[in-house]
Amino acid sequence: MNTLLFCYANDRNRPLPSLAEEDGQIDRLLDLRSSRNHYQKIRDSFATAESVTSKILTYQDSLCLFHFSGHAGTNILQFEDTTARGMGIAQLLARCPNLRLVFLNGCSTLQHVQLLRGLNVNAAVIATSTPIEDQTATRFALAFYRALNNQHPLQQAVEIAQLEIQVTTNTHVQQVERAMLVDSMEEVSRNQWYFFCPDPALAQWELPTGDAVSMTEYKPNAALRTTLFQSLRGYDPTLTEAFKAKQQLPPEALKSWLNEELLRRLPYPIAEPLRRLLCPPLSPAGKMLPVTPSRDRLMNYVSLYDGAVDLLVGTLLAQTRECLQQAEEAGQPIAPGEELERHLQQLLTDGRLMLEPQPLLTMLRSMGQFLISNQVDLFIQEMHDLARLFSEQPEFYESVGFFHDLRQRLISAPALGNVDSLCQIGEDHLVEILKHLGFWAHYRLESVRNIRALHFYNRRPEYAHERAVLRTSQSYRIEDVCFQEVKLADIWDSQSVLLVKTSRQLGPTGQWEEPVAVGFLNLSPFFIDRNVFLRSDNAVFDLYSFHSCTEGWLRFGHLARPEDPLLRISLTDTDTTHQQDYTMLREQFRVVQSLFTLEPVAEVSYPAHNDDIDLSLLD
């Protein structure tokens, strides 16, 4: 197995404050893949000349990466106990035939490149040409290893780290903390890392995903299916009972049955991309095609991640809207506050996809704290646990970062490097996220349309809607797609998508009864079913999630076909083709704008047209 060796050494007389931070964060960053046996990670937090020598000699045949952080100079590396000659370290590294990268994260280490080249060490080297400030060195290393861990090729990882330093680092340097031992202070440069690559092929080197045996043992969907089963059955005991009754089926039949059971227990935005992963298309001859790594599979990874995050964000937005709306109707309006108002405005204009992982966490926490401070119970109680996962489990946070990074790569890069490795790593990250999402077994989406008012003497009016339960597009059971009447108390719920919370009870015979609805939350206008706005009897749902709103246009992305063009709906137009009517959607969004203290777009009246032109063709 390939070995990565990380050595950190402090000078007792001049300790580096951020060295322990760099050590711990890089170690946690690489933990997930190390635990999956992609590589062996060796950590020497208090490196001495003897400990470094021993580790290099022990792992010399498998060592592919050597990292040093600490005080350094043109020909020396400062260890905990002594100053080591650069030539001695170079001679040890020359014994490592599989070495691919040497990262010397100390001051003025550029001359070490010459020492390594003189001994024919055929590895890429990251070194510094001047003294560097301590915190900057740590930020550079973390950005580099995060990119490398996300399976960017070596040279791309260096470029990403350099770009991050240029964006985040102040131009003024107050002191030098990782400087070499010199008599006079030298000027500190924050952008003087040097990347030496003796072989063009090394620039495309990626972190290993395991040895040849483990690569052949990788079975797409195996870990995904197992993780979902374990996660969902913790919330739905009927899954365990059903599995016990079916486990005598042949392996392929059992997998097909389990796929369908998993999909049935998840709401549509998660189930639909999961279906595309678990149920590949059939061949022209009607045979099931094998599941193989591909760019399309990576796109489905991102769609599944996005569906889960959109559900969480949409739920918090909808509950924040409901809280503000109810307070206003009661004559006791609530001000969201400056921080929350800023987050809400960003979400209603630029949308969620523009958020980096850390701002996403901050936004989720801000909305959650607002609801709790106003004594509103979270509709999804599990949001408390998810917030804790973000802050306490770095593996979960890094998985979120992986999918954010992968989405950008799929958009901008025609070539992704080693797709097989990316698919294996991506599935590991999906497992890390989905094992915490079994609570979705208690929730489903319903679409409502075609309102009918029910008036009763001396009682508040009720409204009867037609509804459809939204599961995967593969489900065509009568209870899934046929519209059924449901009575709601608010006209605002017309032409809306509802998140319905369900509960199961043990029946008198000891069997679990069918889930029953115990509450719902209106997710419009953050999720919409386009077909409820069409003037037709179409009983097939067509689900979209909110993308952004700029220049007077609402934009929504298709959940089943994320590659489709965005659905664009003008906030100021009227529908003149007699084929669709988005009046209710526009009104819902104006209400949200007003509640979130955005200036609502003024409604503009246009003269009626009698032609049958489909204006959507002009989009």
Q: Classify residue 600 as exposed, middle or buried by CB count within 10 Å of its CB (0-12, 13-18, 19+).
A: middle
In the predicted structure, residue 288 carries a pLDDT above the cut 90: no
- The answer to whether the beta carbons of residues 27 and 45 sit under 8 Å apart is no
In the predicted structure, residue 605 carries a pLDDT above the cut 50: no
In the predicted structure, residue 184 carries a pLDDT above the cut 50: no
Mean pLDDT to the nearest integer, 513-540: 83
In the predicted structure, residue 319 carries a pLDDT above the cut 90: yes
More confident residue, 425 or 486: 425
Of the listed ranges 94-103, 225-234, 518-527, 600-609, the least confidently predicted one is 600-609
pTM above 0.95, yes or no: no
Reported in sequence order, the residue ranges of 492-542 that DSSP labels E, i.e. its strands, are: 496-503, 516-522, 527-529
In the predicted structure, residue 178 carries a pLDDT above the cut 50: no
pLDDT at residue 592, rounded to an integer: 92
Of the listed ranges 130-134, 508-512, 595-599, the least confidently predicted one is 508-512
pLDDT at residue 214, rounded to an integer: 52
Q: How far is residue 244 from each of residues 247, 258, 265, 304, 402, measured CA to CA in Å?
A: 5, 11, 17, 28, 36
Measured CA to CA, the distance from residue 263 to residue 440 in angstroms comes to: 11
* pLDDT classification of 171: cutoffs 50, 70, 90: very low
In the predicted structure, residue 572 carries a pLDDT above the cut 90: no
- The answer to whether the beta carbons of residues 86 and 68 sit under 8 Å apart is no
* 320 phi, psi to nearest 5 deg: -65, -45
The string of DSSP letters for 456-473 reads: -TTS--EEEEEEEEE--T
Of the listed ranges 85-89, 291-295, 311-315, 486-490, the least confidently predicted one is 486-490
Of 222, 386, 361, nearest to 291 (Cα)? 222
* pLDDT classification of 176: cutoffs 50, 70, 90: very low
In the predicted structure, residue 545 carries a pLDDT above the cut 90: yes
Structure tokens at 53: 């020598």
pLDDT at residue 384, rounded to an integer: 79
More confident residue, 265 or 181: 265
Mean pLDDT to the nearest integer, 165-172: 58
Domains of the chain: 3-212 (3.40.50.1460)
pLDDT at residue 609, rounded to an integer: 36
pLDDT at residue 299, rounded to an integer: 94
Of the listed ranges 123-132, 164-173, 377-386, 403-412, the least confidently predicted one is 164-173
More confident residue, 114 or 383: 114
The mean predicted confidence, pLDDT, of the chain is 82
Of the listed ranges 58-62, 354-358, 407-411, the least confidently predicted one is 354-358
In the predicted structure, residue 174 carries a pLDDT above the cut 60: no
In the predicted structure, residue 336 carries a pLDDT above the cut 90: no
More confident residue, 280 or 324: 324
| Rounded (10°) angle between helices 419-434 and 394-412 | 140
In the predicted structure, residue 394 carries a pLDDT above the cut 50: yes
pLDDT at residue 368, rounded to an integer: 87
Mean pLDDT to the nearest integer, 519-523: 92
More confident residue, 590 or 284: 590
Mean pLDDT to the nearest integer, 432-446: 91
* pLDDT classification of 494: cutoffs 50, 70, 90: confident
Mean pLDDT to the nearest integer, 385-413: 83
Mean pLDDT to the nearest integer, 372-383: 88
* pLDDT classification of 8: cutoffs 50, 70, 90: very high
In the predicted structure, residue 123 carries a pLDDT above the cut 60: yes
Mean pLDDT to the nearest integer, 551-564: 92
The string of DSSP letters for 191-212 reads: S-EEEE-SSGGGGG-------H
* pLDDT classification of 528: cutoffs 50, 70, 90: very high
More confident residue, 392 or 246: 246
Mean pLDDT to the nearest integer, 511-516: 75
Structure tokens at 93: 């590294």
* pLDDT classification of 613: cutoffs 50, 70, 90: very low
In the predicted structure, residue 104 carries a pLDDT above the cut 90: yes
pLDDT at residue 145, rounded to an integer: 96
Measured CA to CA, the distance from residue 117 to residue 83 in angstroms comes to: 22
| Structure letter (DSSP) for residue 289 | P
User: Strand, coil or helix: what is 415?
Assistant: coil
Most confident stretch, 78-87, 452-461, 481-490: 78-87
Measured CA to CA, the distance from residue 323 to residue 333 in angstroms comes to: 10
Of the listed ranges 117-126, 227-236, 281-290, 426-435, the least confidently predicted one is 281-290
* pLDDT classification of 286: cutoffs 50, 70, 90: low
* pLDDT classification of 29: cutoffs 50, 70, 90: very high
Most confident stretch, 27-36, 59-68, 373-382: 59-68
In the predicted structure, residue 45 carries a pLDDT above the cut 60: yes
- CA-based end-to-end distance of the chain: 54
* pLDDT classification of 7: cutoffs 50, 70, 90: very high
* pLDDT classification of 604: cutoffs 50, 70, 90: very low
